[in-house]
Amino acid sequence: MQSSTPYMNMLVEADQISVLTNLSAFFFTFITLWGFVTLPGTYAELQMADIDNDSERHVVTFILKIPLLTAAIICCTIGLIGILVLWCMFHHNLIWVFNHLFVPGFFNGLTGFATTLAEVYGLRDGSWTKMDKIIGLATGIVLLTFGILTLWRYNNLKVMRDSHGIYHVLQQYFY
């Protein structure tokens, strides 16, 4: 007689979550990363570009007029709200939340923070612009928040996994 443990139930439920939901988790974590890395980095690089060609200068001037910081904030906001909504929907499934939201969120924050540091110390010799400070603060907060959530959920999962193993050993001897 095999009984299910909460850990086994979560594994089965995580496997049954729809492809659309999994793609949504990927999309929201990716768009957050995109907001952290791609847009502000491109903006800073274009600001420092030394362009001799008039047509290229017009294109760069046009791009610099687009409020890329606003676009980055919108991407991050959409991504983080989407992650929060998915977390609220699936908070009961530690495995899915850990694997699809918290770990990617942690590494996206780490990537964004590392990219900001590389940009500041690699391109500008340690000179922080206002945008660098904003991005560094935002990615640092996300890194710290998702880092704490990842460690917390990992610890919960570890306790659940360990109790799952003990349950099956006891069941083998007493049933």
Q: What is the mean pLDDT of each run of 10 residues along the chain (175 residues)?
A: 72 92 96 81 60 71 69 90 96 92 94 89 84 84 94 84 62 50
Q: Counting every residue, how long is the chain?
A: 175
pLDDT at residue 174, as a whole number: 46
pLDDT at residue 72, as a whole number: 82
- pTM value surpassing 0.85: no
pLDDT at residue 31, as a whole number: 95
pLDDT at residue 172, as a whole number: 52
Q: DSSP label at 129?
A: -
pLDDT at residue 145, as a whole number: 95
Question: What does the CA dihedral 37, 40, 42, 43 come to, rounded to 10 degrees?
Answer: 180
14 close to 58: Cβ distance less than 8 angstroms: no
